[in-house]
Amino acid sequence: MSRPDRVVAGSFIVAILAAFGLFFVYLRGGQTQLEGALLFLTLGGIGTGLLVWAKRLMPQIVDETQSRHHEPVSEHDQEAAAETVMGGVGELKRRTFLSRLLVGAAGALGLAALFPIRSLGEVPGDTPFFTKWKRGSRLVDVGGNVVTRETLKVDSFTTVFPEGSVGSADSQAVLIKVQPELLQLPSDRAEGAPEGLVCYSKVCTHAGCPLGLYLAADHELRCPCHQSTFDVLNGAEPVYGPAPRALPQLLIEVDDDGTLRAMGDFTEPVGPAFWNITDGPA
């Protein structure tokens, strides 16, 4: 046997053995790495065998030349073809009134065909402007436990929701405790951040990712997606990255028994902007 012959034979034999191996591994319950390796040997064996066979054992016809069979289309033929096509088109165009009506019908059908898109789902209406937070909503954590003034120490944070809507995508908020004297909120916002407890929307105003990073020593919230960074002490104004707007704040107050309650919905619509965000709800 010549050398290529041996390579081809060997490849196919490896493929056969590996296929049996696969069968065996499969019977024994399967194992991902073995399956991958044996598939590689089976498929690669067949492939290598074929490649070497084709390249080395088959007649070396690599320089056969053929015409590309491109006869430049004669003007006469092109004219004839164009006339055939345009002749048919002309038949339609000849009846101007009817063909315009046809176009109108097609257009109307096209427009009508767009309507099922509307059936796909709900129109947004006012929903982007509101979340589930209401005046008096108690703050609860992911486990549904009520959050009180004692829950957090300075430099700590947790994710909060309005009671009854744990896991709500638009209502999610992050509650942070800082040293009260460090906060630099305007007076109307400062009232909603008692005892150094400040609460912001957790939905990044850039592309909507949840803000998972709190860099406590720098008092910054950072987004894992595109690194937008917000200054917690200063109304969550963006200080780095592509986020264009501050995080909406959730003004909170401390109840008589120490529980934290929202004073209303967020100060602005949450999340990234949409075209009529400045209009406000209808």
Partner 1 sequence: MTRRTAEARLLSRILRIGLVLVIGGQIVWSFRPSPGQALSQTAEQGRALYEAGCSTCHGLQAEGTVNGLSLQGSGSAAVSFMLTTGRMPLAAPGDQPMRQEPAFDDEQIDAIVAYLAEIAPGGPAVPEVDTSKGSLSDGAALFLNNCSGCHAAAGVGDSVGGGRIAPNLMPASATQIGEAVRIGPGLMPRFDEENLSEQDLNSIAAYLHWLRDNGDEGGLQLGRVGAVAEGLVAFVVGLGLLFLVVRLTGSKV
Partner 2 sequence: MISKKLVEGVDDRLDASSFIARNLKKVFPDHWSFMLGELALYSFILLVLTGTFLALFYVASPELTTYRGPYEPLQGRPVSLAYNSVLQLSFEVRAGLVMRQTHHWSALVFMAAIVAHMLRVFFTGAFRKPREISWLLGVGLVVSGIAAGFTGYSLPDDLLSGVGLRIAYSIAQSIPFVGNWLASVFFGGEFPGTALLPRLLALHIFVMPLAILGLMSAHLGIVWHQTHTQFKAPGRTEDTVTGTPVWPKFALKSVGLGFVTFGVLTLLGGLFQINPVWFYGPYVPYSGPSPSQPDWYAGWLEGLLRLWPNWEFTIFGVTIGELFLPAIVVPGIMFTLLAAWPFVEARFTGDHAWHNFAQKPREAPVRSGLGAAGVALMVVLFLAGSNDVLAKYLQIEVDTFNTVLRWSAFVLPTLAGAITFIVCRDLRDRPRHPIGRPGAMTVRRTAEGGFEELHDAADEVRSP
Token match 């959050």: residue? 147
Q: Is 196 in the site for partner 2 (CB under 8 A)?
A: no
Q: Given the complex with partner 1, which of 46 and 277 has the nearer CB atom?
A: 46
Q: What are phi and psi of 253, to 5 degrees?
A: -135, 160
Stretch that binds partner 2, among 79-87, 107-115, 191-199, 240-248 (CB under 8 A): 240-248
The reply on whether position 10 binds partner 2 by CB under 8 A is no
Closer to partner 1 at the Cβ: 129 or 206?
Answer: 206
Binding site for partner 1 (CB under 8 A): 32-33, 36, 51, 55, 62, 142, 150-153, 155-159, 210-218, 222, 224, 227, 229, 240
Question: Facing residues of 140 across strands?
Answer: 146, 161
* Closest C-alpha among 218, 226, 212 to residue 272: 226
Query: Which residues, 6+ apart, have CB-to-CB distance to 57 below 8 Å?
Result: 4, 5, 8
Indicate whether 243 belongs to the interface with partner 2 (CB under 8 A).
yes
Q: Which of residues 15-54 bind partner 2 (CB under 8 A)?
A: 26, 29-30, 32-37, 39-54
Closer by beta carbon to partner 2, 173 or else 183 = 173
Residues 87-106 that bind partner 2 (CB under 8 A): none
Closest by CA to 214, choosing from 162, 185, 177, is 177
> What is the side-by-side strand order in the sheet with 213-215?
213-215, 220-222, 229-231, 237-240
Give the distance between the most distant pair of CA atoms in the chain.
96
Cα distance between residue 131 and residue 266, in whole Å: 8
Window of 98-106, 150-158, 219-227, 251-259 that interacts with partner 2 by CB under 8 A = 219-227
Name which of residues 161 to 180 contact partner 2 (CB under 8 A). 161, 167-170, 172
Which x/- pattern over 112-151 shows residues binding partner 2 (rule: CB under 8 A)?
-----xx-xxxxx--xx-------------x---------
Q: How many CB atoms lie within 10 A of CB 233?
A: 19
The answer to the question of residue 240 lying near partner 2 (CB under 8 A) is yes
Pairwise CA distance, residues 176 & 250, whole Å: 12
Q: Could you say which DSSP state residue 263 is in?
A: S
Would you say 84 or 227 has its CB closer to partner 1?
A: 227
C-alpha 251/C-alpha 264 separation (Å) is 7
One-letter amino acid of 123? V
Segment 55-84, which members bind partner 2 (CB under 8 A)?
Answer: 55, 58-59, 61-70
User: Nearest distance from residue 227's CB to partner 1, in Å?
Assistant: 6
